[in-house]
Amino acid sequence: MLRTGPPGRATILAGLLAVSVACGYLDKVSSPNELAVVRFVVSPPVVDPGQSAVLTWKVDGADQVEIDPGVGAVAAAGSKTVTREATTRFELTARSGTDAVAASVELRVRGTLPSPSPAPSPSPSPSPSPSPSPSPNPSPTPSPSPTPDPSPDPSPTPSPSPSPTPTPAPACGAPAGPAGTCDVSIAKPNPLPEGECIEVIAVEVGQVCPASVGVPRSVRFVVSAQTSRTNLSWRRSSASSDVLSPSTGAVASQGTTEVQLQDTVLDSSVTFEIVDGSGLPLLALTLRNY
């Protein structure tokens, strides 16, 4: 659906769409013979320990599809219920002949960090063989010991000053990676005080990139915040021209907020801002359209 704007804007968008179709651009994006990860998401992206989540994927043009860790070989499209006790990043790898593509999503488990790879156990060192005891030598006749000089009193050793206890880092989670085939970048133009944080921990896009001008698509992202700033909200950056519905919404200062919207593509990228009650941008999420 095209929005009405200044005279001539609808005509320009219609022309752009016509050029895209005429050049085969839409056929190339949707061709089933092209190796591409169409969708790879986890829902919900944030769970409690022991709670299950569902991986969903769709791949075009692949001979083999694998998901690690712990899932293995799968069909080109499907879903899988997974349960993890620690935050886990799932990697999907699709192959067709000598070609391969990959995508990843992160399932965040509250109060945990990604599980580290186990380190190899060290090999035990062999015990040294005992040295033979030397044969006793006859004791020499002792010489008279000289009278020692009196030693000066030792200087008192100063007590070390206690190290300050470090402030624990806030637990907002790791920043989101690429949204399928769409590049994602996150910037923080105005840093928060020590002990506070705000982060976008998941991004999903309902259409593969590159996206065509004038095509609407669904966008979902999750904001995690631990801050004393109040009246947080999200909005489209004034430097972006995409049409959003809704165009703004509230964000919780403590905990996670899930944002779902419809984005009509009009530019090569779109930027969403998280701002405080005074309108000061705290985080900028940029999604590359094409």
pLDDT the model gives residue 212: 87
How far apart CA 84 and CA 87 sit, in angstroms, is 7
Q: Give the start-end residues of each E strand in the chain.
A: 36-43, 46-47, 52-60, 64-68, 72-74, 77-83, 88-96, 99-109, 184-187, 197-205, 216-226, 233-236, 243-245, 248-250, 254-264, 269-275, 281-288
Give every residue of the chain whose pLDDT is below 70, as ranges. Answer: 1-33, 114-170
What is the per-residue pLDDT across 117-165, written as a single tens digit (0 to 9) for each?
444 444 444 455 555 555 555 555 555 565 656 555 666 666 666 666 6
pTM here?
Answer: 0.45
38: amino acid identity, one letter? V
pLDDT the model gives residue 22: 34
How far apart CA 203 and CA 115 sit, in angstroms, is 22
What is the per-residue pLDDT across 206-221, written as a single tens digit (0 to 9) for each?
988 999 899 899 999 9
